[in-house]
Chain A
Amino acid sequence: MSPFWIVIRQLAEIEAMALSKKVITREEWEKKLNDVKIRKEDMNKLVMNFLVTEGYVDAAEKFRMESGTEQIADIDLATITDRMAVKKAVQCGNVEDAIEKVNDLNPEILDTNPQLFFHLQQQRLIELIRNGKVEEALEFAQEELAPRGEENQSFLEELERTVALLAFEDVSNCPVGDLLDISQRLKTASEVNAAILTSQSHEKDPKLPSLLKMLVWAQNQLDEKAAYPRINNLSTATLEDPAV
């Protein structure tokens, strides 16, 4: 073996040693975890934030009574009920009803948010097509949606895609069939939900899921440097012994 290759091999060995991970035992880890102090009220607020944002009114009300946690960001629990009614209406395909409810809640939302307004009208068109009301659908597309398409190029493209549904005999098996999917309704519903939350000066996403994302990210970072008791199952949050 030439001296060159010997040097390379030695370098590789040194690198491998440097890469060998530090092992942290369960005892050490739990001790470290116990040193972190988290206030109970903060945990409660986090849970309350999740319940309110996701619209679990009854649970939020019960949780408030049991934990004594005040409502956050001045959100009136009654407005959650209104917001959920709108969301539910879209999820069930009663888009017109949803629009009226949003307008009662706050007429500014749809007047100042052309994209959301278009998506609701588009969902209305999708529902008409789903129910086989072809003539009504065409009239609606012409009267209500075409002018919005003239105002905005990307709306026009979406409108064309939606109207294309009418061209297929078997919509379940066509390139734009996804529009008829339940996921389309859910997408529209969550867009309305977010807009109402924003109009109430409330964050549109709960904090809990992003904290969990941060946990997963931090564990992945740590995996490169150390072996430690990991949380693999987020719903039980049990610590699993490091594989050494």
Chain B
Amino acid sequence: MPTTTGTGTGTGTSTTGILHRLASDDQDVKLKALRELKNQIIGNRTKKLSFLKLGAVPAVAAILADAVSADDVINDNNYDNKNNDHNYSVNKNIIVQSAAVLGSFACGFDAGVQAVLEAGAFPNLSRLLSNLDDKVVGAGARSLKMIYQSKFAPKYDFLEEKNVEFLLSLLNNGNENVNGLGASIITHSCKTSLEQKILFDAGVLKKLTSLLKGSLSQRDASLESLATIFKNNPEVVLKFVGPDSGRALGSIIELVKDRFIRTRLLASSCLIVIRNTSPCYLQDVGIKAKLINTLLELLDDPGQIGEEASFAFSSLITQKEDMQKLAFELNAIDKLYNHLQKGSLHPRRFEGILLALADMCSKLECCRARFLSLQVLNLVIDALAHESADVRTAACICLRSVSRSIKNLSAGYFMNETVVIPLVQLLNDPSTSVQVAALGAISNIVVDLTTRRSTFIRCGGVKQLVQLSKSMDATIRLNALWALRNLMFLAENKCKEGVFSELTAPLLASLICDPESFVQEQALALVRNLIDGCIDSVEYMFAEDGVIFDAVGRQLQSASKAEIGIQGMYVLSNVATGKEFHKEAVINQLLPHADNGTQSCIIKFLQSNDSRLRTAAVWAIVNLTCSSPGAFSRRVKLRDTGIVSQMKEMVNDPCLDVKLRVRTALGQFTTFEDGSI
């Protein structure tokens, strides 16, 4: 039995014992303690934390610093017989062991990375890279690589020429750990397109391509760095895929079916980045199917690869209907469901699979139908109450995607207590991202075309939404209003009444004037739906001295973007379907009195480049001029403002919708002219 270090069942005494021995003057005792510390913390997060708290990191960093300077001194003075010197070899071992300890503290443990950086170990670890001993170089590179895998690592400045040279020397080094360090630096620090271009021009891409033919670790490192340099940079991708590098692309494609699962995942991710950056490449159906099948197979891995595979799958299919269709044909929904069914999933895996399902169901009805027929919905509803916020968010996003199914919405499939109650509860979630995601799902589900909205109101949904519309967080205000807007869509009067009494006119008016334009837009859209339909509902506009009506008018005068104008004009269009005095109010709002000298906003809207805004403006005119007792005087007023001549220029508008409405409106003016003769 070679072990003499006791049982190692780390009780308090042995922990402090190690620290005590680290401070020993006897180099042999120190070395042994370092090695013992290393063996205690490797793979053991709890031990890392407890040694960290006891201040082990600065102690080891100081040992490394001393050993590095001692090494310099030995190299300077005692060159001839240093290999025989016991002190020399112990000192070298101390360097290797302390670097390993610091590297382990930095491995997958952010607090450890910060402690190592704060202890000033970084420059000393970097100095190890130029050591003459390969073991020392390897140990230094490994530890630095660990640091660079954390987001807390210092940013590497590629704009500095000598830094790029140094990086190239790392990639050209014969030591695999040093190559790996170079790749980690790129993955960590290369973010902007300028940095990507600098690395390309320096020949980094060529070097990385040659590493693709190297060993397993060199290949993996290269694939990861290549993806970083390609990301969102079509120029670099073009140069890579272009005539000379076609072969390199071919070798990445080959690696998608490599024997090692990590390589398969990294090669797939690299190809996905190329596809997403330059959609003209890799459109061959064989490659698409291969990527989908590979990622679905990788889900089977029980470890980290299986977790990451679903995120890669999402990035492959997101926003791409053709990919979703192909994945559907390759049974993706069933395969994802099988994983979900296994239960007790690691949160990250759970989240990834839910998001993948969400992406699958985001566009195609066939996917949603398959999803619902497999009863996945029940598992997603359970996930709404998961302890991890990321899983809850993902479950909401998944529900939002599936509930885009008009067919199932119409059948009232989602508007029932099993779905609504947990979603409404999430409106109180401590995490903002969960709240926003829950609001997104609710926005879809309340577009209920049957008369079951009462379920939502009974569960306290409206109260919650109104509460959130007063949130300090603009994104939450936006999404809460969005949900209310959809709830008002074609709603019956009783429902509108309930919501309005909860919301109140002053709150709505202040939301229309919100500092954020996207909130203003939603508030206007909400009002538009509120007063749509029954003529009585127009009265909401004039409640409390017409605060809402005035607010709409103010926003239209100062409309900062087309969307505000569009929603505002539709609000006025809806008001203009009301009684005579409603119509009069609208015309007074639209045609400000001549003395203030400003151009009427409606002319501005009719001249807009945005056809949606032109449509909305013409609609208001159509509603104001259709035959009714006061129509005559309104036609005269509009004509005097120059609206008729403006519309005459629009009879051949490129947008068919505008063209049709303009002709209707002009028709109504003509009837009036004919009558006047």
Contacts and interface: CB of A to CB of B under 8 A. Distances in A.
Interface of A: 73-74, 94, 96-97, 99-100, 103-104, 106-108, 110-115, 117, 136, 139-140, 143-144, 147, 151-154, 198-199, 201-203
B142 A108 contact: yes
16 contacts: A73-B215, A74-B215, A97-B1, A97-B2, A103-B38, A103-B100, A106-B142, A107-B100, A107-B104, A108-B146, A117-B44, A144-B10, A147-B46, A154-B302, A201-B176, A201-B217
Consensus secondary structure, chain B interface: loop
Given A103-B38, A111-B43, A144-B44, A198 B103 contact: no
Given A111-B104, A153-B344, 4 more contacts: A108-B146, A110-B42, A140-B7, A154-B302
A96 B303 contact: no
Given A99-B39, A152-B346, A143 B10 contact: yes
A15 B346 CA distance: 54
B107 A111 contact: yes
Contacts of A110: 42-43
Given A107-B104, A110-B43, A111-B108, A96 B9 contact: no
B3 interface: yes
B303 A111 contact: no
Contacts of A115: 302-303
A239 B302 CA distance: 43
Nearest to B260: A198
Contact of B39 (A100, A136, A199, A201): A100
Nearest to B8: A96
Nearest to B180: A108
Contact-residue size bin, chain B (C-beta under 8 Å from the other chain): 20 to 34
A147 B45 contact: yes
B53 interface: no
Contacts of A113: 43
A147 B41 CA distance: 13
Contacts of A74: 215
Contacts of A140: 7, 9
Interface in B460-474: none
Q: Count chain A CB atoms within 10 A of each CB in B38, B39, B107, B218 and give the residue with the most.
A: B39
Given A147-B46, A203-B259, A112 B103 contact: no
A107 B138 CA distance: 11
Nearest to A102: B42
Given A94-B1, A114-B43, A139 B9 contact: yes
Contact of A103 (B39, B46, B107, B217): B39
Contacts of B107: 108, 111-112
Contact of A198 (B100, B216, B302, B346): B216
A73 B2 CA distance: 32
A4 B260 CA distance: 58
Contacts of B217: 199, 201
Contact of B7 (A136, A153, A199, A201): A136
A88 to B, nearest CB: 12
A96 B146 CA distance: 25
A38 B594 CA distance: 99
A199 B177 CA distance: 11
Contacts of B260: 198
Contacts of B43: 110-111, 113-114, 117
A91 B103 CA distance: 29
A201 B221 CA distance: 12
Interface of B: 1-3, 7-11, 35, 38-39, 42-46, 100, 103-104, 107-108, 142, 146, 176, 215-218, 259-260, 302-303, 344, 346
Contacts of B9: 136, 139-140, 143-144
Consensus secondary structure, chain A interface: helix
Contacts of B146: 108
A117 B108 CA distance: 15
Contacts of B45: 147, 151
B612 to A, nearest CB: 52
Contacts of A96: 3, 8
A200 B259 CA distance: 15
B665 to A, nearest CB: 67
Nearest to A99: B39
Nearest to A202: B216
Nearest to B138: A106
A28 B212 CA distance: 44
A208 to B, nearest CB: 15
Nearest to B109: A111
4 closest A-B pairs by CB: A201-B215, A117-B43, A201-B216, A110-B43
Nearest to B143: A107
B209 to A, nearest CB: 18
B346 A153 contact: yes
Contacts of B10: 143-144
A16 B39 CA distance: 69
A237 to B, nearest CB: 27
Contacts of B104: 107, 111
A97 B176 CA distance: 27
A210 to B, nearest CB: 11
Contacts of B35: 100, 104
Contacts of A104: 35
Contacts of A202: 216
A147 B259 CA distance: 33
Given A74-B215, A144-B44, A201-B215, A107 B142 contact: yes
A197 to B, nearest CB: 10
B515 to A, nearest CB: 44
Contacts of B2: 94, 97
A221 to B, nearest CB: 22
A96 B100 CA distance: 18
B104 to A, nearest CB: 6
A104 B93 CA distance: 11
Nearest to A121: B43
A37 B654 CA distance: 73
Contacts of B42: 99, 103, 107, 110-111, 117
Contacts of A144: 9-10, 44
Contact of B38 (A107, A143, A203): A107
B271 to A, nearest CB: 22
Contacts of A143: 9-11
B286 to A, nearest CB: 25
A166 to B, nearest CB: 16
B92 to A, nearest CB: 14
A115 B44 CA distance: 12
Nearest to A101: B2
Contacts of B259: 203
Contacts of B344: 153
A88 B432 CA distance: 53
A103 B103 CA distance: 12
B583 to A, nearest CB: 66
A198 to B, nearest CB: 7
Q: Count chain B CB atoms within 10 A of each CB in A74, A144, A153, A203 and give the residue with the most.
A: A144
A107 B103 contact: yes
Nearest to A154: B302
Nearest to B106: A111
A94 B2 CA distance: 9
A104 B31 CA distance: 13
A38 to B, nearest CB: 22
B263 to A, nearest CB: 11
A136 B44 CA distance: 19
Contacts of A152: 346
A234 to B, nearest CB: 24
